[in-house]
A and B are shown apart, each in its own frame.
Chain A
């Protein structure tokens, strides 16, 4: 059986301070970003988890009140580590940004109500991304009075794979915007950070055809834009139940029903014909899925990135399972 080369968390990724987490919709990107933030907070570190898409997904994940536009603690980790969270609101970020250069006073709130800010981001769609990445950079580079970074690591629950390169490619977005002025000066620093070894872009995927295809395309796009892919985060990995040698035959519909019946009988189970047929049918479907997962692993192996796995939790994700997922990441070398 071919498996994805699980080399875990490389030295190079461990050096990154900004971890951008993307993935196709429905792959559990936000959950993985949350687990990664918890894992990185091990060893007494302080981590900031940023959400940029206005979904309040972090609040749901950590079972807290909707987050304001402020950094606030959402979880502690044994050993003194902590995760803070920030929900970046584009409108607030624009006003905050403008107030650095102009005194808008009370007009800011009224402008917001009038839709003026949404309008400004409509005029120049790149503006939105420039504001968001600008805020991210500010958090990554912020230092305290002793000159030490306020956050040891910053994790971003980023836009999905289809939009990630556009989101991070600030240089392109700037082409839409003014060639001079304050925003230009700031964006140069953002570009430097995003293209440096301080940043790693991780890709969350399931072992399914479409998410894997999107992952591969996204890696090509990231490479093309000179951004750095980090690790593949295989989410919701389910245990293979069938012995490897039985998979191919079973996927073809060849399950030796009489052997199954005999085995069941030796364990003291005598099933009605239809219940046995049902088991066989479930086994065929399972085998077809295992084969598809195998193909997905082979395809992922070709892009040759380090990978870590998160096990499936069939009962869904709560704060408890989030800590379990973080443990699983730490066990695989995430640091």
Chain B
């Protein structure tokens, strides 16, 4: 049987420097990350939480009414942590712009920022948000103002996107392909080219027919302006990757007790092992534990009995909703067991669902209590 994820031991350990909350979309990653950061601050850590796309009310709970691309101290009435808490929301476009400004001379930076292709890549390429989240994590770690960084990951459909996206973006930017498309003759030294050169010529022509010559010209200009910066980018991405693999990092995989979310959690746990990234455990979020020992069959029998006699409607309703809850809890347990059978070494924490959505620090504190309760 799996062990228990001891959240307090994790956040109290001064060697824990980074906690990454990951999982598929809609499982409560952002709320979990915020709750962990609040709890860590109240237990004495100098914590910062990097959120990606928080619901408006959660952002307000953290005092993040406006979008800012750098951390701000959380100051809310009634919140006097032993340590400290800062919070920020990622602005991916600005993070990318800052990165360009930091790596290029002012003239070249201006060229890049004005390029239409850069605008496409920096705002709508599917891997950019993931890449920029990692870049920001690297910046926060380098800045050294906090002793614990809690990171929320982008709301991608698949939990794995966030590990793969930086690589995909790097491939897109490294220029090889654009050089091939814009001038196959000059992109020598690639064995494959001989084999496909005829096909490639056609393909290049086809692509330019579809995306338009102007787009290719923009892309080419962008890559040329970008070339010198690229080494720096790659170096930083590698550094962040190393940080993720270091012993000071802990991955917390979040999943709802639903088949899809747990399947994604499974993939993610396996992937972390492959990449030798340190996994702290799985948070099964929003469970519905049974609160009364009354067996479901007995409850249903009694409800039938009451309804047949037409009396005590409240008691009959209570019995039926209890039976529903038992069935739901059984299903959740079954799904979680399927996960633990496949991954017996992964520590677990169950977080019972809150009756209503979290929108203040009190709610985050309550989730923190539930996270650490086992």
Our count of residue pairs bridging A and B at CB distance below 8 angstroms stands at 207
Contact pattern, A 91-130, Cβ under 8 Å of B = 1, otherwise 0: 0000000100111111110110011101110111101000
With A110-B192, A269-B298 in contact, is A178–B26 under 8 Å at CB?
Answer: no
Asked if B293 contacts A278 (CB within 8 A), the reply is yes
CB of B157 within 8 A of CB of A53, answer yes
Q: Is the CB of B207 within 8 A of A282?
A: no
Determine if A314 and B328 form an interchain contact, defined as CB atoms under 8 angstroms apart.
yes
Q: Which residues of chain A are near B26, meaning CB under 8 Å?
A: 24-26
Given the complex of chains A and B, what is the CA–CA distance between A183 and B209 in angstroms?
A: 9
Q: How many angstroms between the C-alpha atoms of A93 and B172 in the bound complex?
A: 21
- The reply to whether B317 and A243 form a contact with Cβ atoms under 8 Å apart is yes
Q: Which of B120, B198, B205 has the most CB of A within 10 A?
A: B120
- Chain B residues whose CB sits within 8 angstroms of the CB of A260 once the complex forms: 314-315, 318
Tell me if A98 and B124 are in contact (CB < 8 A).
no
CB distance from B329 to the nearest CB of A (A): 10
B314 near A282: Cβ-Cβ < 8 Å? no
In contact, B196 and A107 (Cβ under 8 angstroms): yes
Question: Which of B25, B199, B292, B303 is close to A275, meaning CB atoms less than 8 Å apart?
Answer: B292
B153 to chain A, nearest CB (A): 14
B203: Cβ under 8 A from any A Cβ: yes
Does residue A286 face the partner (Cβ distance < 8 Å to B)?
Answer: yes
How far is the CB of A122 from the nearest CB of chain B, in Å?
A: 5
Report Cα–Cα, A272/B292, bound state, in Å. Answer: 9
How far is it, in angstroms, between the C-alpha of A156 and the C-alpha of B276 when the chains are bound?
39
Question: Which of B13-21, B129-137, B140-148, B212-220 participates in binding chain A?
Answer: B212-220
Given contacts A110-B196, A262-B315, contact A178 B202 (CB under 8 A): no
B316 to A263, Cβ gap below 8 A?
yes
Q: Given B155, B203, B325, which contacts A98 in the complex, CB threshold below 8 Å?
A: B203
> Would you give the shortest CB distance from A248 to chain B, in whole angstroms?
14
Size of chain B's interface in residues, with CB distance under 8 A? 75
Q: Say which one of B60-68, B76-84, B305-313 lies at the interface with A.
A: B305-313
Q: How far is the CA of A179 from the CA of B192 in the complex (A)?
A: 32
User: In the complex the two chains form, is A98's CB within 8 Å of B259's CB?
Assistant: no
Query: Residue A127 contacts which of B125, B172, B210 (CB distance < 8 angstroms)?
Result: B210
Give min CB distance, B165 to chain A, whole Å.
Answer: 12
A304 in contact (CB, < 8 A): no
Restricting to B271-310, which residues have a CB under 8 Å from any CB of A? 290-294, 298, 302-303, 305-306, 309
B342 proximity list for chain A (CB < 8 A):
none
Q: What's the Cα separation between A262 and B157 when bound, in Å?
A: 50
Interface 0/1 of A154-198, CB less than 8 Å to B: 000000100000000000000011110111000000000000000
Which one of B155, B205, B210, B213 has the greatest number of beta carbons of chain A within 10 Å?
Answer: B210
- Is B195 a contact of A110 with CB atoms below 8 Å? yes
A120 to B216, CA, bound (A): 10
Report if A237 contacts B (CB, 8 A): no
CB atoms of A282 and B120 under 8 A apart: no
Known: A125-B124, A242-B321, A269-B294. A176 touches B211 (CB 8 A): yes
Asked, given contacts A177-B211, A241-B320, A267-B306, whether A279 binds B206 with beta carbons under 8 Å apart, the answer is no
A7 in the interface (beta carbon within 8 A): no
Q: A125-B125, A269-B298, A269-B302 are in contact. Are A282 and B291 (CB under 8 A)?
A: yes
| Residue among A122, A183, A238, A285 having the largest count of chain B Cβ atoms under 10 Å | A122
Q: Which of A24, A107, A288 has the most CB of B within 10 A?
A: A107
In A196-215, which residues have CB < 8 Å from any B CB? 209-210
In the complex, which of the residues B196, B210, B305 contacts A181, with contact meaning CB atoms closer than 8 Å?
B210
Q: Are B292 and A276 in contact (CB under 8 A)?
A: yes
Interface pair B211/A241, CB less than 8 Å apart: no
How far does the alpha carbon of A246 sit from the alpha carbon of B317 in the complex, in Å?
10
- Add 6 more A-B contacts to A178-B208, A210-B357 (CB < 8 A): A25-B24, A26-B261, A123-B207, A179-B212, A267-B315, A278-B293
Q: What are 6 contact pairs spanning A and B, CB under 8 A?
A: A105-B199, A123-B215, A178-B208, A266-B315, A267-B305, A267-B312
List chain A positions with a Cβ less than 8 A from chain B. Answer: 24-26, 53, 55, 98, 101-108, 110-111, 114-116, 118-120, 122-125, 127, 160, 176-179, 181-183, 209-210, 238, 241-243, 246, 255-256, 259-260, 262-264, 266-269, 271-272, 274-286, 288-289, 292, 314-316
Give the 8 A-B CB pairs with smallest separation, nearest first. Answer: A107-B199, A263-B315, A278-B292, A263-B312, A278-B291, A26-B26, A178-B212, A267-B302
User: What is the interface of chain B, defined by CB distance below 8 A to chain A?
Assistant: 24-27, 55, 117, 120-121, 124-126, 155, 157, 168, 171-172, 177, 180-181, 192, 195-196, 198-200, 202-203, 205-213, 215-216, 219, 256, 258-261, 290-294, 298, 302-303, 305-306, 309, 311-322, 324-325, 327-328, 331, 355-357
